[in-house]
Structure formats: C-alpha cells, structure tokens
C-alpha cells in the first residue's frame, strides 16, 4: 500500500503585481503561512550591513516576490538574506521515502550577487550536528562555500559539488543556470548518503526554495517566485494490527523490513 506523505502542487494563478498582494512585510523575520507552506522574509544576516532592506509581497506560497536593496562594499561576500518558501517535516527518516520531487520557477534581476537555491536541512535545522544541502539553480556572481570535491549528473544536468570538511554544508552548483524545472530531491540526498557524508538513518527536517542575496549594487531589485510545489511519497508500511495472510487469528504479520511511519499533519 502506498502512503502519501504530502502532495503539494499548485500553479500560480496570479501574476505578481496584477492584483494587491495578500501579505506584505518588511520585517527582518516576517512570514506568512499559506496552505502547508511558510513564506519567509528571512533577513538572517542583515543587521551588520547598511543599507539592507527587503520587502516581501505574497499572493500565495507559489507566487511571491521581494524587493531588496543591499551592497557588498565591505568585500566580504556575505549572504545577508534568504527570502524563501519552505515546508517543515517532522524528522522523517530519509529511508522512509519512495520519492521527493519538487517543481519551481523564478525570475531574477541580473544585478549584484545572488543565487537561487533549494536549502534542505537534515538531522535538524541550523543546529549542531545537522547538515545543510543546497541545490543551486541560478548563480549570478556568487561563490559557494567549502571545497570542490566532485562532479555529478542529475536529471541531465551536471553539478559541481562543494563540501565543508565536516559535511555540515554541501552545495550542488549547476554548470549551466536554469530558472524553472522539476528536481528529484531524494535522488540527490541518496547520492550524498552513498558518499558517506550522511548517515543512512538521517532524518529530513525542512525543504526551502529561495534566493541568497549578497548584493543588489545598492539599488532596489526584484526577485520573484512564480511556481513551487513539493510532492513526497512514503514507502509502503505493514499494518502490524492486521492478521497475516491466511491466518485464522488476529496475530500480526511479521514486519519484514517494513516501517511504521506516522503521516505528518
């Protein structure tokens, strides 16, 4: 029996700016729940820099934008904000999934320094011992952290893989930018496990998609998300309360490698 963990897909019905947004914030930690998603004006590293402003306007989780202004006059190349849409997961073991697919589309201003990317948190969210896996799709003058350790192909695209020595940060950077598409996130996570960088018993905590902004050349610039969805399916599990095939009593069947998985609410 297939157990659907979460099926989240939608097409943006509105074009940004065509009607008044449902939610607007310039708060450094402002956010809005929309369906099973959270749209977050995540200005996590903005306070040390000036000017550093960002206003998020949202019509839905898959149709929103930010207008940002910042610069890189210090020359440190620091990411200042990561406005994103994300889905929280309840520490589900990665081995429990049959598939995790995600579709996106974005538009960017082609000024300054930034990268659009998935940000996947494993074994916690920004806590000691967790791993951050980033899958970039568009890179504009940005440099990933860590060292180049491998090249790999997923879905017909070649990625350079960057990693810090403790495997706390792993980035997949495509050889050619793409602004829309569908990614097999589980395939990429399993490849990371196969390299020994993650434990097979690792858990999935959060999937984000957004833009890491370093600079907009000190002028207002608009970054848009025009589509986003996540479709994740759990592996079949055996109902231990059901009798075995052919049994005449209610004794549970043997759980031959099956897992009892609680559906996320």
Position 239 scores a pLDDT of 52
Tokens representing 186?
């589980």
With beta carbons less than 8 A apart as the criterion, state whether 61 and 85 touch: yes
Position 10 scores a pLDDT of 38
**How far is residue 223's CA from residue 179's CA, in Å, rounded to a whole number?**
12
- 91 alpha-carbon distance from chain centroid: 15
Tokens representing 241?
């309360």
Position 40 scores a pLDDT of 98
Position 254 scores a pLDDT of 34
Question: Would you tell me how many other CB atoms lie within 10 Å of the CB of residue 52?
Answer: 20
Q: pLDDT tens digit string along 101-145? A: 999 999 999 999 999 999 999 999 999 999 999 999 999 999 999
Position 256 scores a pLDDT of 27
Reference 136, options 156, 167, 111, 157; nearest CA is 157
**Bridge-partner residues for 66, per DSSP?**
56, 223
Torsion sign across C-alpha atoms 162, 165, 44, 201: positive
Mean per-residue pLDDT pooled into runs of 10, the chain (265 residues): 36 58 98 96 97 98 98 97 96 96 98 98 96 98 97 98 95 98 98 97 98 98 98 79 44 31 31
DSSP letters of the chain?
A: --EEEEEE--B--S-TTSS--SEEE--TT-EEEETTEEEE---TT-TTSSS-EEEEEEEETTEEEEEEE---TT------B--EEEEEEEEEEGGGEEEEEEEEEEE----SEEEEEEEEEESSSSSTT-EEEEEEEEEES---SSEEEEEEEETTEEEEEEE-TTSSEEEEEESS--SEEEEEHHHHHHHHHHTTSS-TT-EEEEEEEEEEEEE-TTS-EEEEEEEEEEEEEEPP---TTSBPTT-SS-PBPP-SS----PPP-
Reference 184, options 230, 247, 122; nearest CA is 230
Position 241 scores a pLDDT of 52
Position 18 scores a pLDDT of 67
With beta carbons less than 8 A apart as the criterion, state whether 90 and 81 touch: no
Position 46 scores a pLDDT of 97
Position 90 scores a pLDDT of 86
**How far is residue 21's CA from residue 18's CA, in Å, rounded to a whole number?**
9
Domain boundaries, the chain: 3-143+176-234
Position 181 scores a pLDDT of 98
Task: Note the CATH number of domain 3-143+176-234.
Answer: 2.60.120.180
């Amino acid at each position: 029996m297939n157990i659907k963990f979460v099926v989240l897909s939608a097409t943006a019905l509105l074009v940004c700016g065509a009607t008044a947004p449902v939610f607007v914030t310039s708060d450094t930690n402002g956010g809005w729940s929309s369906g099973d998603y959270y749209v977050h004006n995540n200005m996590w590293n903005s306070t040390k820099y000036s000017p550093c402003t960002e206003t998020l306007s949202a019509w839905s989780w898959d149709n929103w934008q930010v207008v940002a202004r910042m610069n890189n006059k210090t020359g440190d190349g620091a990411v200042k904000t990561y406005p994103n849409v994300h889905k929280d997961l309840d520490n589900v073991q990665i081995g429990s999934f049959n598939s995790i697919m995600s579709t996106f589309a974005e538009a960017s201003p082609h000024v300054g320094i930034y990268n659009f990317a998935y940000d996947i948190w494993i074994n916690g969210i920004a806590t000691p011992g967790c791993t951050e896996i980033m899958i970039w799709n568009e890179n504009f003058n940005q440099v990933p952290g860590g060292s180049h350790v491998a090249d790999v192909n997923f879905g017909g695209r070649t990625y350079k893989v960057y990693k810090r020595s403790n495997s706390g940060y792993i980035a997949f950077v495509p050889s050619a930018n793409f602004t829309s598409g569908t990614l097999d996130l589980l395939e990429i996570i399993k490849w990371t496990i196969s390299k020994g960088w993650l434990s097979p018993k690792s858990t999935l905590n959060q999937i984000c998609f957004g833009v890491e902004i370093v600079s907009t050349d000190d002028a207002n610039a608009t970054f848009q998300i025009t589509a986003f969805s996540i479709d994740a399916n759990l592996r079949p599990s055996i109902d231990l309360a059901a009798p075995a095939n052919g049994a005449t009593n209610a004794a549970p069947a043997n759980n031959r490698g099956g897992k009892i998985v609680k559906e996320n609410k």
